[in-house]
Amino acid sequence: YGIYIYADIDKDMGATLDMERMYIEDNTISNCSYGIYLSEGWNHTTITGNTIFDNGIGIYVWGGYAGNYENTDTEIHWNKIYNNTGYGLLYHMTGAPTTPYINATYNWWGNGNGPSNSSMIDPVTGEWANGTGDAIGGGVANDNIHFDPWIGKIMLYQGWNMITMPVWNDSIDTAEELGDYINEKAGWKICTVITKWDASEQQYISHVVDFGADFSLNPGEGYFVFVRADICLSINGTIVEPDVNITLKPGYNLIGHTKVMMTTALQIGQNISNCVKVGRWNASATPQQWMPECIVAYGINNFDVIAGDAVLIYRSEGVEKWYG
């Protein structure tokens, strides 16, 4: 075992056991039969920020017997789970498949198209595990893991969307190729315009899909994508976080978050010199709109930023390399 969590108590009269939440964070675990093993009796566990690969089973959660469920309130988020030969995540139950689900959203499963196992369905969203990443399983249950969304999946809303490529696909190097990819997934020409921000000239540059001048895409850049209807998009590809290398200019810069672990606008601003504010576009609002900016000096209007999100930052002066 990489990490083995076990809790037990003798059933003596008057015996009590008060277990608060267990956190398993920021570990790298490989070449084990089980990367993380949660045995019976350990409820309220949070597993975040771990890299779990090349194991037999990445994470094993013992769910218990029918009518006697264990390991309730399990949270598994922002982990890199890949190349595990059996399962990336196995929530094993014995008995009737009426299992309380565990929450395992926003993980990287080895491919941006999500985890595999065509018999597993997300109990919250109804999404099937039809990706090519690590397998997930539920013992006798096929609906006990809430895995959707995952890292590599983004929601595009009708109108303008401010995004970055959450994963990288070598066949999507230009705005035209991204538009074609979205349209192929949708089955019709849903994406019509892709726009980037030129920080050197402080102006927008747009590409009309199937027409006009194209431009290259780069890891860590942000883009505006216009679609004519809502579409949930999974991008087949691998994580790009080691490859971000963006030159930030004075004025506005449109950048994207590609790391598996979530961050905040304030953390981004604090890690960029001379960054005054960080803004976001709310594509899901009616009407769509810019939200109040996070003012770095005062820490106000802070917001979460996850892989696939883009933010518009304003720098007061200087040129700087940014590695995401």
DSSP state of 132: S
- What confidence score (pLDDT) does residue 40 get? 74
Asked if 156 contacts 284 with a C-beta cutoff of 8 angstroms, the reply is: no
Average pLDDT over residues 291-301: 97
Could you tell me the pLDDT band of residue 95, with boundaries at 50, 70 and 90?
A: low
Closest CA to 98 of 145, 143, 44: 143
CA 182 vs CA 27, 167, 236, 263, 286: distances in Å: 35, 14, 11, 26, 23
What number is the average pLDDT over the span 135-152?
A: 92
Q: Write down the mean pLDDT value for the chain.
A: 92
| Nearest-angstrom CA–CA distance, 254 and 199 | 8
Phi, psi of 300 (to 5 degrees): -90, 155
- Sorting pLDDT into bands at 50, 70 and 90, what band is 18? low
Q: Judge contact between 298 and 266, C-beta under 8 A.
A: no
Question: d(Cα 76, Cα 165) in Å, to the nearest integer?
Answer: 23
b/e per residue, 276-307, with b = 16+ CB within 10 A?
bbbbbbebeeeeeeeeebbbbeeeebbbebbb
Q: Give 186-200 pLDDT, tens digit per residue.
A: 999 999 999 999 999
Q: Which residue carries 């315009």 as its tokens?
A: 193
Q: Decide: 54 and 83 in contact? Cβ < 8 Å.
A: yes
Q: Report residue 44's pLDDT band, with 50, 70 and 90 as the boundaries.
A: confident
pLDDT tops 70 at residue 100 = yes
The answer to whether the CB of 214 falls within 8 A of the CB of 176 is yes
